[in-house]
Structure 1
Amino acid sequence: MLLATDDGVEEESEPFPDLLSAGEKDGSVEGVILSPSLTEEQQGDWRHVLGQFSSLFSLIPGVTHLCTHDVDTGDSTPITQKVYRVTDRVRACTKDEVSKMLTIGVIEHSSNPWASPVVLVPKVAAPGATPELGFCVDYRGLNAVSKTDAHPIPRADELIDPLGAAKYLSTFDLTSGY
């Protein structure tokens, strides 16, 4: 993999870790929660399909090599936003999450002048339970100088119409997805 340094020079770095072969996939669908409105037969059908494709699922987030995305900022001066003031609990959670992401190769150390602050957002929790915190980055500064993509977003109804004849519909909560 090539990395761009602050002075614009590209340098060779370690390749992204291959998380697919790292033994992190357990192939189990035991923890999958299916809607209680499904009959036992329907739940069995879903478990069978999920079992067939269990190699596509992972319990950890990962790095994809299927596509890349470039953020075009034109000739904008780099935006460096300051970190937000946070509680000790939030600081500890942030440090822990950054450490995990560094370990699995989702992020890497950088001295790039572009910097956006981390925001931990409470996830929905059961009544009375302490909510977990979701790791987010406040990219409003970057978004303000990014050039928008001219590709139109598909109409929602055009995406949903072909599903009319479907026997089952599913939604997947991606790991740490929002």
Structure 2
Amino acid sequence: VTELDYTAPNVKNPSLIGDQQRRFDEVLKKHEAIMISSGNALPPPAYGVVCDIDVQEHAPIKQRARRIPLRHLQRLYELLKVLLKAGLIAFSDSPWASPIVIVLKTNGQDIRLCIDYKMVNAVTAIMEYASGQRPVDRAGELPVVLLVGCCKRLLGNHDDDA
């Protein structure tokens, strides 16, 4: 885990005016515990949280890994090392397995690690919640979605979607 660089281009935003950047930096610093490596916001590991997914008694789906383009292998290796060290991923021998998908970030250099859950989603029952909204239980941590909404309001963007 590296220290967050608040002067990095992916943190500084030229469209922020006045003291908006300073206030934005303060919000980031306040919630620095959920940030890792150069402004990549990742949630902390959720130990003790149980996630039940109803797959309607379907047999486990185990897909083969896909080939990773050689140009992404080094970046993938570095990203996996960071995620393993942070405890956000772990080795597994589960009967369920879905392939990873590498997506380039907008800067054209960094990669985003995604998982292809299409086959799992096809057998997953839609979950209904009494309140109509998905419950949020992050063991006292501020969810990233709420953090973004907080930043938007702090910076003067009062969208109802925030």
TM-score by length of 1: 0.57
Largest Rg, 1 or 2: 1
Partner of 1:122: 104
Deviation, structure 1 residue 110 = 1.2
Q: Is the Cα–Cα contact under 8 Å of residues 29 and 54 in structure 1 kept in the other structure?
A: no
Q: 2:12 aligns with which of 33, 42, 49?
A: 33
Residue type at the aligned position of 1:108? A
Measured at CA, do residues 49 and 170 of structure 1 come closer, stay the same or move farther in structure 2, by a change above 3 Å?
farther
Partner of 2:141: none
Deviations, residues 13-32 of structure 1 (Å, cap 9, x unaligned): xxxxxxxxxxx585875554
Deviation, structure 1 residue 58 = 2.3
Q: Partner of 1:134: helix, strand, or coil?
A: strand
Structure 2 residue 79 is the aligned partner of structure 1 residue 91: no
Partner of 1:113: 95
**Match runs of 1:32-71 below 5 Å:** 32-39=11-18, 41-48=19-26, 51=29, 53-60=30-37, 61=42, 62-65=44-47, 68-71=50-53
Deviation, structure 1 residue 75 = 0.8
Structure 2 residue 157 is the aligned partner of structure 1 residue 169: yes
- Unaligned stretches of 5+ residues in structure 1: 1-23, 155-162, 172-178
**Match runs of 1:5-20 below 5 Å:** none
Aligned length: 132
Measured at CA, do residues 49 and 66 of structure 1 come closer, stay the same or move farther in structure 2, by a change above 3 Å?
farther
Aligned equivalents of 1:25, 1:93: Cα separation in 2:
16
Structure 1 runs (4+) deviating above 6 angstroms are: none
- Could you tell me the percent identity over the aligned residues? 23
Q: Is the Cα–Cα contact under 8 Å of residues 12 and 21 in structure 2 kept in the other structure?
A: no
Q: Partner of 1:91: helix, strand, or coil?
A: helix
- Unaligned stretches of 5+ residues in structure 2: 135-149
TM-score by length of 2: 0.61
Deviations, residues 26-83 of structure 1 (Å, cap 9, x unaligned): 58755542453422x44444445555x2555522533134954322212110001111
Q: Partner of 1:119: helix, strand, or coil?
A: strand
Q: What is the RMSD of the two structures over their aligned residues, measured on CA atoms?
A: 3.4
Partner of 2:116: 138
